[in-house]
Amino acid sequence: MLYKICSICNEKVEYGKECKNGCSKKAKAITEKYYDKNIRQHANVYANKIWHQLRERCKSKFNGLDIYSFYILGAIVYGSLSHHVETVEDNIDRCYDLDNLLYVSRDTHDRIIHPAYNRSDRDKKDMQGLLFGLIKRWEEDYCE
């Protein structure tokens, strides 16, 4: 059996398992706090009650599904985050606009959407057009 040493509490932990002291959650919280304080722009947008409520409304609106995967890939994948189609950096006025949010999985967000946003301004605009189209399609198909 292989073991490793927990980087937080220095306890011996079976390889492939989490520390019994819950250190992985503590480490994640520390990392997220550092990220919010030092790296994330507009962290104040995400660190308040309004955002948390809006995020839950977005999740509910899309029934917890990654709508990109649903429509484009034809797969049912559960989402995990609310994505601003028009980024907070580009349009702070739409940061709390439900019509500017869609629910996607971390994988879709990191492997498909943001690479398009970062590739070029043209690719970003094309992806935003596609995402707004998906929101509209979902609303027509499943909302009221």
Tokens for 137, please give them: 């399609």
What is the reported pLDDT for 52? Answer: 94
pTM, two decimals, is 0.74
What is the reported pLDDT for 35? Answer: 66
Nearest to 84 by CA among 120, 40, 122: 40
Task: Name the residue ranges covered by the structural domains of the chain.
Answer: 3-38, 63-142
* 77 contacts 66 by C-beta, under 8 angstroms: yes
| pLDDT means over runs of 10, the chain (144 residues) | 85 86 81 67 84 96 97 96 95 95 96 95 97 97 86
